[in-house]
Structure 1
Amino acid sequence: MSKETLTESIAVGKTPPAAGLESRRASILNWFAERGVIVFTVVLILAAVLFVDGFATLPNLTDVFYRAAPIGIVAVGMTFVVISANYLDLSVVAQVATAAVIMIAVSNEFGLVAAFAVASLVALIYGVVNGLAVGFFKANAVIVTLSTTFIGLGILRWLSGGSIFFGPEDGPIRAFGQARLGPIPLSALLLLVVTAVLWFVLTRTTFGFAVRAYGSNKASTRLAGVNTTAVVVGAFVITALAAMIAGFALAAFSNTAVSSMSNGYEFRALAAIIIGGTSVFGGRGSVLRTLLGVVFVSVLTNILVLSGIGFGFQQMAIGALIVLAVSVDALARRAAKK
């Protein structure tokens, strides 16, 4: 386009063809990055119903959501950390396992209320330590949470001796794990309740607005007078409390607990968050779309299991999804800046 033509287009308020094409491309990429999970989840479920034997049975669908609940609760909680532009909380592995062991071991001796109290206290410690290290001391979130993972798992294995803890067959944790409302497991309903509460916190409270603002522009949020350290600490505390609830759901699943039971939870949760359209660069995300991401990952894993595909290939599929989702998000941001 010549300078004269470009000048005329600007003068009359028209968008040059090249700029219009870039704008449309950015819009398409942004739509896929944020809302593509809705279409992909529907297509995946329809394909599974039509082509995968055993998928559309009530026992299988119940099992899918039963198994998805602990990871889903971790994912909707960790969405706050990701939106705050702190990438992820690797220590959820240690947090979930610690909560599960506490739930079984403490409730066996002192009851479920005491177990929840102890688990909540430990979750607060995790959240505050991670949040202060990242928010106040400006340490790298990945390094900090990797360190607290090793510390937490080390303490757990030292105190538990690596033992497997079993709950009584007639205990409240076992009762919760087996209970259903119609065909729906209570653990799946717990996931929905946690998601609804965190959706409200993220979208309807000043704290939720501050988390999104901080993830979008840390300097501007700080200059606006927001206590950014409190924002980061709050995001990590929410993640830790969600991990504690996930530990309870995981313990209820088998009525057992051991220090290695939550291995891989951090990356499965991250996969659900990113596939759900939350940007790893911060500032943009949705708890509800994270829930859709959880459904997508859980259904995909179930399809692979029913198809006889091994665990190694399942890991490869989830890794490929993370790379694809992050790439689309990066392309969308780059196109929006042009």
Structure 2
Amino acid sequence: MNILIVSDAWYPQINGVVRTISTVRQELEAMGHTVEVIGPDRFRTVPMPTYPEIRLAIGARRRLWAMIEGMRPDCIHIATEGPLGFAARSYCLKHGKPFTTAYHTRFPEYVRDRAPVPLALSYAVVRRFHKPSAAVMVATQTIEDTLKARGFTNIRRWTRGVDTELFRPRGKDFLALPRPIAMYVGRVAVEKNLEDFLKLDLPGSKVVVGDGPAREELQRKYPDVHWTGAKQGEELARHYAAADVFVFPSRTDTFGLVLLEALASGVPVAAYPVPGPLDVVDGAGVGCLDTDLKRAVERALAIPADKCRDYALGYSWRRSAEQFLSNLRPFTGATP
């Protein structure tokens, strides 16, 4: 099957959306499918307001439409509610082509954290974007329930996976810092609520692995925190494994791939009881969720590494790809 994915989040960006799409693409290609991804890297771009590291395509509609015509895909999946997503959506509606979408980011909450825009208004825009979609793919039950309560329909599950060969328990001596080491991995941006972690009074060391628009200000404000910048591949995996507890202060993520990467590395999770952690961690005995983040950290430190690792082994990218594919098949008439 010839699958086209249109996404406003794509390389050189490094985030959960990009990692999900690229990994599922690899799995689908290994299964014999052809997968093309159209991202902002093919067009003229401008920096996103308040987040210059993210580039937004401009004036892409005509060229994008021509690219779709030339590719002649069997199905089209629109991953994001950005300029390319809207352009692909308009193509599909004009030409009567079925398409699927995904709800990767809690966009209304993201906007609220950056501008005085009412949640109801943002949700109305996002709901209108997804309404014609043959399937709105979401990663968790909590997000599905939230969207249904907001009037979304045609919701299908698309779970996530983790590379358990790369992310695995390793020696703790990679980081020569006072222990216990509490670590955050991800974007350093306002929507990640990172300051809730940084201001905690914890023994040992705090480490932040990642970069983003808020890093300069937060690094200046919290000089005792160890800031490593963004890491990838083997180096990223070694950082994870060197931690004693993974702290996830975000309240806006729809899943949180970093949760699985930490668990696969044998590192327990401390987080708030919100979507993402509630679906990945709650009740599994591999982390602590608490409205008091410090208490969650203290309790998570007592969780055995092997329990975290065993739990993460149950998440497969192949299963994620198969779910994605099954959400496409009913609307294309194609066979696997």
TM-score bucket (shorter structure): under 0.3
Q: Which has the higher strand share?
A: 2
Q: Which has the higher contact order (CA 8 A, sep 6+)?
A: 1
Who wins on radius of gyration, i.e. which is larger?
1
Q: Which has the higher helix share?
A: 1
TM-score (norm 2): 0.23
TM-score (norm 1): 0.23
